[in-house]
A and B are shown apart, each in its own frame.
Chain A
Amino acid sequence: MTEFWATPVVGSTFTATLVENLSRAHIAQYAGAAGDFNLVHVDEPFAVGQAGRPSVIAHGMFTMGLTASFVTSLVGHGALERFGGRFLAPVHPGDTVVCTATVSEAESAPDGAQVVLAVRTATVGGQLVFEGSAVAHRPTTSE
């Protein structure tokens, strides 16, 4: 288990940069891995001309996936019981994206510990792009 579980105090905040200066190649890499080649993510003329975007945009699930990677770096793999949230704005090429995770609930029980993390993912320009929560559980028996 990760160090996170030693002191999951309500109000504790963790921050990480998820991606710096996002490239179109990175968006394309996610498209290939996820199997989502929606043209608004990979075809600039379509994104600008037909979708009315300033450029291609990253998948919401890409932003959520980056956020999930940060969350699992804290709580460990296999610890999540629930994870979800809302997509509030698109992420564009060139964006640097930062996530803040705050412990909003922490409980201990005979069968283990449970925490709820409030996660907020935003560009360095201050645009909130994803907001959600993660529920993680650490069984006592897995020490």
Chain B
Amino acid sequence: MSFQFPVESGQALLFARSVGDVDPCYEHQLDARPGTPLVVPPTFTSSAAHFDPESRTRPRLPATEADFGGSADRVHAEQHFEYYEPLRAGEQASVESIPGRTWTKEGRSGLLEFSETITEFRTAGGALAVRARKVGVRIVGPR
């Protein structure tokens, strides 16, 4: 899965507010020239979901479509980020996700199925900016 993520200082500001980061730098960089490295919250790349055509939970209407809303049996178990290069104002970062490892484990509520997703965010120049590793878990059934 791959798509383009337009990097915008306004979106960084809105995301920062939502996670309680009130550093004035986010307002100061609203008029950043295209190509300027942006300060973004460490988990900001999560907001690329807005542009993920395969997302079932990004904002859209009507929200009553059968495949909207995500599932109740999947849980976000782990999340890890590695940071390499800053994202830059006005660029189209490329986002590519690939499946990682899968494994199972017996939990209190039954068999748990874990799966990794590795997502890389690259600058418009192709440099790796952020690598994200998500571990999701699904309750398969009772023991």
Q: Tell me the A residues contacting B by CB distance below 8 Å.
A: 18-19, 26, 29-30, 32-40, 43, 46, 50-52, 59-62, 64-66, 68-69, 71-73, 77-78, 80-87
In the complex, what residues of A have CB within 8 A of residue B86's CB? 78
Contact B47 A33 (CB under 8 A): yes
In the complex, what residues of B have CB within 8 A of residue A77's CB? 23, 25, 39
Which of the residues A35, A38, A64 comes within 8 Å of B50, measured between beta carbons? A35
Q: Report B78 CB to chain A, min CB distance, Å.
A: 5
Which of the residues B17, B19, B57, B81 comes within 8 Å of A83, measured between beta carbons? B81
Q: Report B121 CB to chain A, min CB distance, Å.
A: 14
A interface footprint on B36-76 (CB within 8 Å = 1, 0 otherwise):
00010111001111111001011100010000011010011
**Residues A66 and B15 in contact in the complex (CB < 8 Å), given A60-B76, A82-B81:** no
Chain B residues within 8 Å of chain A by Cβ, number: 41
In the complex, what residues of B have CB within 8 A of residue A29's CB? 17-18
A interface footprint on B13-31 (CB within 8 Å = 1, 0 otherwise):
0111111110101000000
Which of the residues B17, B39, B49 comes within 8 Å of A35, measured between beta carbons? B49
Which of the residues A35, A61, A65, A78 comes within 8 Å of B76, measured between beta carbons? A61
Contact B79 A34 (CB under 8 A): no
Whole-angstrom distance between the alpha carbons of A81 and B84 in the complex? Answer: 7
Q: For window 98-140 of chain B, which residues contact chain A by CB distance below 8 Å? A: 133
**Residues A60 and B79 in contact in the complex (CB < 8 Å), given A30-B18, A38-B57:** yes
Q: Report A23 CB to chain B, min CB distance, Å.
A: 12
Contact A85 B46 (CB under 8 A): no
Which of the residues A19, A69, A80, A82 comes within 8 Å of B21, measured between beta carbons? A69
In the complex, what residues of B have CB within 8 A of residue A68's CB? 19, 21, 41-43
Contact A84 B49 (CB under 8 A): no
Whole-angstrom distance between the alpha carbons of A40 and B11 in the complex? Answer: 24
Across the A-B interface, give the 8 residue pairs with the lowest CB-CB distance, nearest first.
A84-B80, A65-B19, A38-B70, A35-B50, A51-B72, A33-B18, A35-B49, A39-B69
In the complex, what residues of A have CB within 8 A of residue B57's CB? 35-38
